[in-house]
Structure 1
Amino acid sequence: MKKIVVAHSPDADDIFMYMAIKFGWVGEFAYENIALDIQSLNEKALQNIYDVSAISFGLYPLIASEYALLRTAVSFGEGYGPKLIKKKGVSLKRNFKVALSGANTTNALIFRMRYPEARIVYKNFLEIEGAVLSGEVDAGVLIHESILEFDESLCVEAEIWDIWCDFAPDLPLPLGGMALRRSLPLTNAIKIEKDLTKAVLIADHNRKILASMLMQRNLIRVDEQKLDVYLNLYANKNSISMSEIQLEAVDKLFALGYEHKFYDKLIHAKDHLIPLEYEQARYEDLN
């Protein structure tokens, strides 16, 4: 069987959506997985390293020539998302120093549109809260499970969701997606997307069983109650396959990035999806 390397983040939603393949419940290929923080995943995607990779939607226009955009295993915020946190009682100056999880993350793109004068440093997402607590930075944007609980001496300065709504009212916030290398044969690409879609569907339909298995194997950084909350936010029925409104939201993100000169050209999500109709046309030709 052909080996396909799938890279994803170590946060609960990515692990949850991938594990149906890891446990052998679905898959036509010999899948191998690797877990890296989102900054590393984005950097590896820029280098065209992995066959399939979780990415920030904010990165995609920079890799569109090398990677197709998958419809599945997506995470959107709807009334929630990353949080800009600071110490209580601190007033942030216009050029405050802030820790972000990566230069090409969606939250970094939206943050830079709202706070163009902020001085940015990039850190592993697990180090951001500590950097704020130590005073190394004035503020930081928390992502993944970190948004659920943080030190009581900290408070939320702004929700990335609220900033997004100022730019794109009535649209969900596109956070994380999946991309597949264009060098893979199209027939394989279609099968891989189907495998991943089925894995996310199985995970959503068997949430309690799979969540229990992940907890028993110590693959999750939060307790059972927080895991349930987190999965309800980022790994749910809306993660199985992108809807029209989700695609519209991704296009809005790309348009905002282009307007703010983060990208050198404007692209549209639908133009970069794997053409599933190819499979039907191919078999019709055979018949």
Structure 2
Amino acid sequence: MNIAYSPCPNDTFVFHAWAHGLIPGAPELNVTYADIDITNKWAANAEGPEVMKISYAALPWALTDYKLLPCGGALGRGCGPLVLTNGLSSDAGNAASLSGKRVAVPSERSTAYLLFRLWASRHVPGGIGEIIVMPFHEIMPAVRDGKIDAGLVIHEARFTYPSYGLTMLTDLGSWWEADTGLPIPLGAIIARRSLDSDAIAGWIRASVDYSWTHPGASQAYVMQHAQELSPDVAQAHIDLYVNAFTSDLGENGYAAVTALLGRAAEEGLVPSFDLSLLR
């Protein structure tokens, strides 16, 4: 079975057991490691592999051909994207200072960017000046070096941004949780509708359970793809993004996804679609 997910520690932790043939009855995986911006585009054009990790924000473009799986993704509390500015700026903590400025984001269809747009519509008078899409690992250096005014960051940047001399302007996850009372939907696992989604979900859950039961088994695989992260940062990344929602979205998880995409559709940020397709 062909699958695409990122090289980030949470994804390699989740899929380690399946990718290494440790799940009885599961088909062999042919893994493509791809940035979320790439898989979001593949999903929208029905060009990707049978199973993929994409942003929840990209689902409205994908649900005709792909089904959202109830496990394997990233959704939780205290794990949202951050808006960062150069710590030397006198208005680094002022949201209104982003009016008319240049902001880098990791993908135009990322959940991070969707949350940012929902937040900015309420907090940045006049709106953002220019949005620049760049790979997430390039964003913090660009903010530090003054190439852009602010950056929207995800993943392990939550733990490493102080080393770049940057200041957190806002935590979009905290804003979303305070505004809705719901967890933050970040990354989704989807499978082609022609496949047995229940079987695939079962194999994913078994892979997650294996990594939880054998916490050291995935370490070499995780670090092989961890993009020069230290083991401590990689583990902090896993601890934050792999949680009970990874095993099962549950009612709170589905409520969070429905709230995010329903609100975005109402504001014209994503195409309108039948929300029942999320189930």
* TM-based fold match above 0.5: yes
- Superposition deviation, residue 152 in structure 1: 4.3
Q: Deviations over 1:87-118 (max 9, x none)?
A: 01322341221000001111101111222411
Q: Deviations over 1:132-157 (max 9, x none)?
A: 12211100011111221123421101
Secondary structure at the aligned position of 1:147 is classed as helix
Secondary structure at the aligned position of 1:177 is classed as strand
> 1:120 corresponds to which residue?
131
> 1:219 corresponds to which residue?
225
- Superposition deviation, residue 66 in structure 1: 1.0
- Contact kept in structure 1, 2:63 and 2:277, CA below 8 Å: no
Letter in 1 for 2:101: F
- Superposition deviation, residue 257 in structure 1: 0.9
Aligned residues: 263
- Please give the residue correspondences for 1:1-287 in structure 2 after superposition, counting only pairs within 5 Å: 4-26=1-23, 27-48=25-46, 49-90=48-89, 91=91, 92-116=97-121, 117-118=127-128, 119-150=130-161, 151-168=163-180, 170-182=181-193, 184-185=194-195, 188-212=196-220, 214-215=222-223, 218-221=224-227, 222-268=229-275, 271-273=277-279
- Superposition deviation, residue 266 in structure 1: 4.2
Q: Distance in 2 between matches of 1:260 and 1:165?
A: 19
Q: Distance in 1 between matches of 2:236 and 2:98?
A: 34
- Superposition deviation, residue 5 in structure 1: 0.7
Rg larger for: 1
Runs of 4+ in 1 over 6 A off after TM superposition: none
Taking structure 2 as the reference length, the TM-score comes to 0.88
Taking structure 1 as the reference length, the TM-score comes to 0.86
Secondary structure at the aligned position of 1:115 is classed as helix
Cα RMSD of the aligned pairs, angstroms, is 1.7
Q: Distance in 2 between matches of 1:173 and 1:189?
A: 23
Q: Distance in 1 between matches of 2:17 and 2:45?
A: 28
- Superposition deviation, residue 62 in structure 1: 1.6
Q: Which runs of 5+ in 1 are unaligned?
A: 274-287
Q: Distance in 2 between matches of 1:86 and 1:57?
A: 25
